[in-house]
A and B are shown apart, each in its own frame.
Chain A
Amino acid sequence: MKRYFRELSVLGALVAILLGLAIFTPAFYQPQPLLSLLTREAPTLVVACGMALVIVCRQIDISVGSIFSVCSVCAGLLAARGWPLLLVLTASVALGAVFGAFNGVLVAGLRLPSIVVTLATMVTLRQGLNLVRQGEFVNLPEGIQWFGLGQTTGQLVLVISSVVILILLALAMRHLAAGRFIYAVGTDAEAARLAGIRPQLVTFLVFVSIGALTGLAAMMNLAQSPQVQPLTGNGLELKVIAAVVVGGVAISGGRGNLWGAFAGLLLLACISPALTHLRIEAYWEKAMQGTIILLAVVADGLRSRQGGN
């Protein structure tokens, strides 16, 4: 109970918002808009899972937005050439993993700070994409949107698969030795090394994972519209990092879990519809999100001060 206090308090805030919505605007709970909301957030959730791994490992990856865009555009182009869906999906995941591996080699192999490495990747990929595509949209062939399953089924597939990925990764973090390694490296890489764990390999694989998950998320986003716009991933990194931090994953590494990141993401995602339903101007959305992030960070700060003494 005490151990998961942080995650439970985020869950509490989420339940409070959901209850408030239930009382004031029951319209929020109409199935179709709710499903649409969850579908929109499904790709973000997948990237957030990867980000949680990275942050637990005491690294950060701010290039996910750019990787997301590049994977989306490339997947779109391949689909437009008539590649089958499964092959496009594999290509997108593989491309993401390659970018992640690139970050990972620089961070783990050369021991460069991840914020600098991924900043460079972020800018390079984004500008490269602009240069090559000149902002051109990619029109997708029939059968890509909603995987050709129809809107509602497609949405359900997306939401369920994102939650399945969350559950698998959360279980792996707790029940696989690999998860334990990530926590150990994130808390104290040198101690982990002296215990026979290979911190560099762990860090590298964590970056590969977030890359692959971003590629997958790009595909999940692709399936939601008839065309791909090249700026689709802009700002994704901030959204994802915010969700993870609000969910109680310590930016200093080694602490937090995926369930918290999930709750954090839902909390931030609920704000916009809540404001709409409560007829508050949309300008307030960013302010509210900022306040929540600030609250979470302050709470962590107070808690670590308490723990320190």
Chain B
Amino acid sequence: MSPAPLLELRQLVKNYGGIRALRGVDFDLRAGEVHALLGENGAGKSTLIKVVTGAHAPNGGTITLAGQTVSGLTPATARALGIACIYQQPALFPDLTVAENLALRLNAPSPATRMHWSDCRARATRLLARIGAEISPDAEVRSLSMPEQQLVEIACALGSGARIVVMDEPTASLTQKEQHLLFAVVRDLRQNGVGVIYISHRLEEIFALADRVTVLRDGQSVGTHPVAGIDEAGLIRLMVGREVAQIYPAAESAPGAVVLSLNQLGCRSSGVSNVSFDVRAGEILGLGGLVGAGRTELARILFGLTPADSGTITLNGQPLTLRTPQAAVAHGIAYVPEDRRRHGVVLDLPISHNLTMAIHRRLFPTTWLRFGAERALTLDYIRDLAVKCSGPEARGGSLSGGNQQKVSLARWLATKPKLLILDEPTQGVDVGAKSEIHKIVRRLAKEGLAVILISSDLPEVIGLSDRIGVMGGGTLRAILPGGSDPHVVMAAALGTAA
């Protein structure tokens, strides 16, 4: 008989008020395996993690750790029992250095203990070296990029000597290189008999990394399979409960006139140089590349946030200088930003206010707000983009990620733009909403909009774009046709020959 699994959940139930987030989930994790957890947003993955890490107490069911049933799990006891979690959003102290963060996390010292900072620093250096991260232990966390912070989180989990490591979308903001580092770390953990619960929306990662996969749907487990015995279509079928016949809607018409033309565009302060390309009406130009390739920086130039200092921008044949977002909006450029929870949707404001934020001049020419017109417009977009909400008055924060993204998109569609720049429109969005957003983007292109799609999701860029601009090091490395071989795109992004 095989030894008891590291972690075993039986009939786990968790209710939030009247909402049944988990309705009897069974799950087990063996030593030395990577067990992927998959499911649409709201399927119960986060709730499961919160229960396992002791953040929330379950309403029913048992948690067994290495054969011992535990009850009354708190974050502190969970950590003492060897459970570590790396959350999507790093939870570090921004004003402290990396070494100080690691020391506070790993020692949880009593206030009177003397801190041996040189030891802490040495350990931080060791841990960072082990995961191959090039981060100084003396760097303030504030100065680190999001992926670097994630690596620090991983170093924390490593340093705590955890037996069970939970990773919640660890690659959402990592570059390809950092992803490979992470994968190596995960494999290293597995080798050492650690059990890893790995949550990701990216199926290719699951196939590359996991031993088994459990799919959650509506708070229930709909099956645990060895990864070797299932394919992508099968997983997607389990997740959404229906066959997704065609993931990416195809282009149906030839693109029209050139809308935007860039010539040798550059901006020294944001590290973008020498970018030239055209985008036509009805065309989706994907911008692929690694994090830090300069794609968001380019978008910010085009939206007037960091004005260009060299090269030219031509919109509909007119040369432009864009120094402010107001100018960009006035010229029909729309930018749906990357971090929708922070910049795309104002969580405290109702959907209707969010929606009309960029079009006050147009909808309210006499500056008096017309609530009827606002409501009608909001209802139109809610219907048009199938936003799931309780009505135009629902607050942005009450929506799921995919629906927030739709509201963010609707705000810009309401400006009737000629050029739409989408920055990571499907990041952290569940599979169902993702394919809806793809359909919307394709439909918008068909209606004559020129679309620039920035995405770190390689299959998305390749599948949805008519042409793919590959960026790297702040400049355009190649323009490839849509549907190119992923290896060719990646090679271009890395700047190597295929």
B115 CB to nearest A CB, Å: 31
Tell whether A175 pairs with B368 under 8 Å between CB atoms, given A190-B342, A196-B329: yes
B56 CB to nearest A CB, Å: 10
Residue from B326, B342, B360 within 8 A of A180 (CB atoms): B360
Are A180 and B368 within 8 A (Cβ)? no
Q: Is B358 among interface residues, defined by CB-CB distance under 8 A? A: yes
Q: Is A87 among interface residues, defined by CB-CB distance under 8 A? A: no
Interface range for B:
20 to 34
B residues near A177, Cβ cutoff 8 Å: 360, 364, 367, 369
Residue from A178, A180, A194 within 8 A of B337 (CB atoms): A194
Q: Is B126 among interface residues, defined by CB-CB distance under 8 A? A: no
Which residues 50-69 of B sit at the A interface, judged by CB distance below 8 A?
A: none
**Smallest Cβ-Cβ distance to A176: which chain B residue:** B367
Q: What CA separation (Å) do A175 and B360 show in the bound complex?
A: 12
Q: Is B152 among interface residues, defined by CB-CB distance under 8 A? A: no
Q: Is B158 among interface residues, defined by CB-CB distance under 8 A? A: no
Are B348 and A255 within 8 A (Cβ)? yes
- Contact mask for chain B residues 350-383; partner A; CB cutoff 8 A; 1 contact, 0 none: 0001001110100010011100000000000000
Q: Is A197 among interface residues, defined by CB-CB distance under 8 A? A: yes
Q: What CA separation (Å) do A41 and B343 show in the bound complex?
A: 41
Are B326 and A198 within 8 A (Cβ)? yes
Are A178 and B335 within 8 A (Cβ)? no
Are A194 and B325 within 8 A (Cβ)? yes
Q: What CA separation (Å) do A195 and B417 show in the bound complex?
A: 13
Tell whether A254 pairs with B367 under 8 Å between CB atoms, given A194-B337, A194-B343: no
**Smallest Cβ-Cβ distance to A198: which chain B residue:** B326
Q: What CA separation (Å) do A184 and B352 show in the bound complex?
A: 12
Residue from B16, B344, B353, B369 within 8 A of A184 (CB atoms): B353
Residue from A180, A193, A197, A254 within 8 A of B369 (CB atoms): A180
A23 CB to nearest B CB, Å: 39
Number of A-B contacts (CB under 8 A): 68
Q: Is B79 among interface residues, defined by CB-CB distance under 8 A? A: no
Which residues 187-214 of A sit at the B interface, judged by CB distance below 8 A?
A: 187-188, 190-198
Q: Is B129 among interface residues, defined by CB-CB distance under 8 A? A: no
Tell whether A187 pairs with B344 under 8 Å between CB atoms, given A177-B364, A195-B358, A196-B325: no
Q: A175-B368, A194-B305, A196-B325 provided; 19 other pairs, C-beta below 8 A?
A: A176-B367, A176-B368, A177-B360, A180-B357, A187-B347, A187-B348, A188-B342, A188-B348, A191-B343, A191-B345, A194-B325, A194-B337, A194-B343, A195-B325, A196-B328, A198-B324, A198-B326, A254-B349, A255-B348
A-B contact pairs, 17 of them (CB 8 A): A176-B367, A176-B368, A177-B364, A180-B353, A180-B369, A181-B360, A183-B349, A184-B357, A191-B346, A192-B357, A193-B325, A194-B303, A195-B411, A196-B325, A196-B326, A198-B326, A254-B348
Across the A-B interface, give the 5 residue pairs with the lowest CB-CB distance, nearest first.
Answer: A177-B360, A195-B357, A196-B329, A195-B358, A187-B348
**Smallest Cβ-Cβ distance to B16: which chain A residue:** A309
Q: What CA separation (Å) do A192 and B353 show in the bound complex?
A: 11
B residues near A198, Cβ cutoff 8 Å: 324, 326
Are A188 and B367 within 8 A (Cβ)? no
Which residues 279-308 of B sit at the A interface, judged by CB distance below 8 A?
A: 303, 305
Q: What CA separation (Å) do A192 and B303 show in the bound complex?
A: 14
A residues near B368, Cβ cutoff 8 Å: 175-176
Q: What CA separation (Å) do A3 and B328 show in the bound complex?
A: 35
B371 CB to nearest A CB, Å: 8
Q: What CA separation (Å) do A176 and B365 show in the bound complex?
A: 11
Q: What CA separation (Å) do A178 and B364 show in the bound complex?
A: 11
